[in-house]
Each structure stands twice: as C-alpha cells, then as structure tokens.
Amino acid sequence: MMKKIMWGISFFSLIGTAAVIRFMPESIPMHYDLAGNIDRWGSRNESLIFPIIILIMSLHWHLFILYFEKKALKAKDEKESAAAESNAKVLGIVGISMAAMFTVMNGFMLYSSYTEAMIGAEKQTMDIGKVSVFLTGIVLIVVGNFMTKTRNNGAVGFRISWSMYNDNTWRKSNRFAAVALMAAGVMTILSSVFAKSAAGATVLEIVYICLAAVVSTVYAHKVYVEEKRSEEKKEGEV
C-alpha cells in the first residue's frame, strides 16, 4: 500500500508538471545566483527534469522496501519476520515523505517560474531555498517519529557498531537518535523562517543534523558501555 502511495505522489508530480507547463511561457527562469538574481533562462520543458528525478528516487526506495518485504517472507522465525516488516514500513514512510516533499517543492518552483516569467523578473520572487529547508525540517520530524519502530538491522535506523551491539542498545540508541533528529527538524523549520538567507538556513540545517548525529553517537557509546558492564556483571555472578 505504501509503495502505491509513494508512486502515486511521484507520478502526480510528473503528470501535473506536464499539464501545467503547457500554460507557461516558452522561456522561464531556470537558475539563480546566491543573491537570488536570475542568471539563466531555459525551455519550460526543462521543468520535467525534476519530476523525473523524483521518480528515480521513488524507484530507489521501492527496491529497498521490496528487499525487506522479501526478507520478511523468507524469515526463519516470527521475530526476524516482524523486524523485516517493521523496517519495510519505516522505509515506506520515508519514501512517501520524500516524494511528497519534492512534489510540494516542485509546485512552488513551477509557480515561482511562471510568475517571474510573466513579469519579466530579474530576481526571484519566492525564496525556493528557504522553502526547501522548511520542507526538509518537516521530513526530519516525520522520519524521526517513525525511526523508533525500526528493528536491529544494517540498513535502516541509527546504525553504528555500538547501537547494533544487541536489541537493547539498538532500542535505546534509536529512541534517543529519533528525538535528536526531530529536534533538528524543529530547529531547521525555525531557521527557514528567521534566517536572513536560504544559504544561512541551509548551513544551520546541516549544523543541526551533524549535532544530532554527534550527540546520538555519544549516547550510543554510553549505552553500549553500560550494556557490556551489565553482561560482565552477570557473567561474574555465574
């Protein structure tokens, strides 16, 4: 079901773009410099490139989801099957979120290009960069919210040797990483609103994500050390 939703959103972007560009001027703004000035105009048909990229990305997520679905069917026990199904669902959410994010962004890009072409603008009328950062913040919150549902594996979730040591370290590490990622998403959204430029908002977004990764790594190591000590203590008692 999730794969169908993801593909539906992706094809909506392509079909919608193909329909919309028929009503756009032949030449539209295609690129901007850091100051927001239009530095390249191109054919309206170039607008189809981004929706095609969205379809390629959806194919990438589709194959990932399919891998875990097949793994669930071939699982030797219920625990392994449940873990694979859980990871497939999380990847489905990620795929849908990404497709939706880029589809919305594509809509803003089309609207911006149309309005700028109609008035013969020399500068962008809408800061697409800030829109991108804002949408990325939403995706970070969504992904973080579902990350706690992943099971110990090598493809989905917060995957480092310490977090993957056992199911307990995985659960604790990914729960912490999920909160850190959602916090980064909230800060990213705020930055997209209050930062003076898209470049500044993007830099802050990267900083937030890196900080989330660093504190999550530190916490994963802490959990790992505690788990090892607990195991050694039990072995000593035996």
Q: Provide mean pLDDT across the span 46-54.
A: 95
Q: CA of 28: how far to CAs of 157, 198, 216, in Å?
A: 41, 21, 44
Domain range summary for the chain, segments of one domain joined by +: 1-126, 129-238
- Which segment of 15-19, 79-83, 202-206, 219-223 scores lowest on mean pLDDT? 79-83
State both tokens at 53: 């990229």
pTM: 0.81
Indicate the angle between helix axes 128-147 and 78-119, nearest 10 degrees.
Answer: 170
Separation of alpha carbons 70 and 121, rounded Å: 52
Cα distance between the two ends of the chain: 49
d(CA 34, CA 151): 42
pLDDT in tens, 102-126: 999 999 999 999 999 989 888 888 8
Q: Please give the pLDDT value at position 238.
A: 56
C-beta of residue 165 within 8 angstroms of C-beta of residue 156:
no
Alpha-carbon distance of 223 to 163, in angstroms, equals: 8
Please compute the mean of the pLDDT values over residues 130-144 and round it to a whole number: 92
